[in-house]
Amino acid sequence: MTLIGLIGRKLLTRLPGVLGVMLGASLLVSATLRLVPGDPVTLILGEQATEADRARLEDRLGLNASFASQYVRFLSDVTSGSLESFRSDTPVFEAIGQALPQTLILSIFALLLSASLGLSLGIAAALHRGTWLDAGALFFASIGLATPRIWLGPMLLLLFAVQWDLFPVGGNEGWSSLVLPVLSLGTAMAAMLARMTRSSLLEVLGMDYIRTARAKGLSERVVVGRHALRNALIPVITILGLQLGSLLAGAVVTEKIFNWPGIGTLLLKSIQTMDFPMVQGCILVIAGTYVITNLIVDIIYEVVDPRMKT
């Protein structure tokens, strides 16, 4: 089956599940937002607004309708592309379209850093088990997993931006602004990938077919590269796919620390101002990225190992 055929088959089989996930996420967020204490009308008009002004704004925003009516209106606005922010009357997906590329840039560079560093350390540690290289990789993995991102980000800012003035303190001022948030995002993921790659490769290297390949006189490069590594990377691909989805959602903290103008910053601002449509739109897009990421992982599975067909 060609790659295009594989993608088409996956899309057809996953479409009902995709729609279910998107509807479930939107319904859960819509219900949760109504439980949040506070009043969007008061935030917009202020506490001195008259009851008549409040009533008019509630009617315009649809806040005086039942939850079911509000949710149906939300779905209608999403499908028609007319979903608008409470705060600025601008299209929600236009604002998300401006913020999402910034988050994608941050996430992709963090993924590239973590994949290159984590895979390299994991493979080197497995091939040199019991040496100082193995011990160093395990030490890095332990430190990386134990260091919380909410602490690492401010420390990087304090040292490299404030103390040594090597990088911008925050915002998007060019490629140099990417360095610190990418390090903050990618370190923990690189540590996880290093440990996972080492464990998976060691397990595969101990299997009978690897010993048979070596007994046939194949070089170590062929044994590792063609036989062991391909099978060892299957669980690692799962981690990579899930981590890319979590980067798009979990970059919220990092974007806030480094004042990065991505979807995480937009989501936090929308929550603070109780901009319900913007929050719902952001969550819908984030849920969509998880679904698309899982689809890509499934396709890569079958390319790496055709036996794993679903």
pLDDT tier at 5 (50, 70, 90 boundaries)? low
Lowest-confidence range among 75-79, 187-191, 213-217? 213-217
pLDDT of residue 172: 81
pLDDT reading at 305 higher than 80: no
The DSSP result for the chain, as a single string, is: --HHHHHHHHHHHHHHHHHHHHHHHHHHHHHHHTTSSS-HHHHHH-TT--HHHHHHHHHHHTTTS-HHHHHHHHHHHHHHT--B-TTT--BHHHHHHHHHHHHHHHHHHHHHHHHHHHHHHHHHHHHTTTSHHHHHHHHHHHHHHHS-HHHHHHHHIIIIIIIS--S-SSS--STHHHHHHHHHHHHHHHHHHHHHHHHHHHHHHTSHHHHHHHHTT--HHHIIIIIIHHHHHHHHHHHHHHHHHHHHHHHHHHHHHTT--SHHHHHHHHHHTT-HHHHHHHHHHHHHHHHHHHHHHHHHHHHH-TT---
pLDDT reading at 304 higher than 70: no
Q: Tens of pLDDT along 44-98? A: 888 788 888 888 888 888 888 888 888 999 989 988 888 888 887 678 999 999 9
pTM of the model: 0.82
**Mean pLDDT score across all residues of the chain:** 84
- Class level of CATH domain 92-304: mainly alpha
pLDDT of residue 122: 93
pLDDT of residue 32: 87
Query: Which has the higher per-residue pLDDT, 280 or 2?
Result: 280
pLDDT reading at 249 higher than 70: no
Report the C-alpha dihedral over residues 107, 109, 111, 117, rounded to 10 degrees. -150
